Amino acid sequence: MKNYTIRINIHEQWAQTSIQDLFRTTLHAPKKLIHELRMEKAVFLNGSQVNWTSKVAANDELLILLPEDCNDSVIPAYESLQVLFEDEHLLIVNKPAGITTHPNEMNETNTLANLVAGYLQKKDDHRKIKHVQRLDKDTSGALLFAKHSLSHAILDRMLHDHQIERIYVALADGLIQESRFTVNQPIGRDRYHPTKRRVSKSGQQAKTDFQVCNTYPNKQLTLVECKLHTGRTHQIRVHLSHIGHPLAGDRLYGGRPIFPRQALHARKLAFIHPFTLEKLEITAPFLDEPSIFEARL
């Protein structure tokens, strides 16, 4: 384990907040992490060790020494990786279809986590960074990683509190008549299939908003924009299948095999950066060749 230094500039709206309240109330950092930082005397204000009851002023600089695990469990892979946004706190990359988000077995090298590890190690960064959300193997698009334990805790809480907007585009089988609709149906495991999910009264609450962007009568396809309110496994796939319009290419849920994968792409992530307070709206280009979506948007 190694200490990594992160810096946070104090914004005007944080002024006159105590260090303690800044971590607890403003950043909503976990109590355990705050305790560790206090015990290790790991927080400095303008170069001096902090008194946790002292108040910050605009343009002050917080310096935090965070203990971070080295990334020795994920084998780095050095193939190309499309980075959509990066700073010292987080990383957003464009995941291609056909690879999983992270290894499920020892010695795997063909996952997105391997590519991220290789990308960072080229910059001599050996931290074990963590994904905040995940995408199915055959879903492409924007995927968010946290680069240190504080940002991971905060971004994970933001995702849970619906403060990270996730917009997908999909091609569904058939012609959907409604222009806008919401599917609010719980999702649980399929008792007959180990990886499949289904709408189930005993499942976890799941809500997806849909907006029809276009219909293609000749192809019997509907282009929809999907907004997730929850993050259940296969959520969009299950909800569209449930209403009789499975994703094109999604063989698991009954979609016609007209594409080599399910036609689902994580198009956009939008949220307020927890440390810079910048409004981020990150759009992921389509990676398929030939493109499944491009000609239809």
Chain length of the chain: 297
Catalytic-labelled residue, pool 136, 138, 173, 250: 136
Cα 186 to Cα 80, 159, 206, 253, 283: the distances in Å are 38, 19, 5, 16, 29
Residue 86 bridge partners (DSSP): 91
Distance CA 119, CA 122 (A): 5
- Judge contact between 52 and 18, C-beta under 8 A: yes
Give, to the nearest 10 degrees, the angle between helix 149-160 and helix 31-39. 160
- Known active-site residue 136: yes
Q: Tell me whether the omega of the peptide bond preceding residue 194 falls within 30 degrees of 0, making it cis.
A: no
Distance CA 78, CA 7 (A): 29
As annotated, the active-site residues are 136
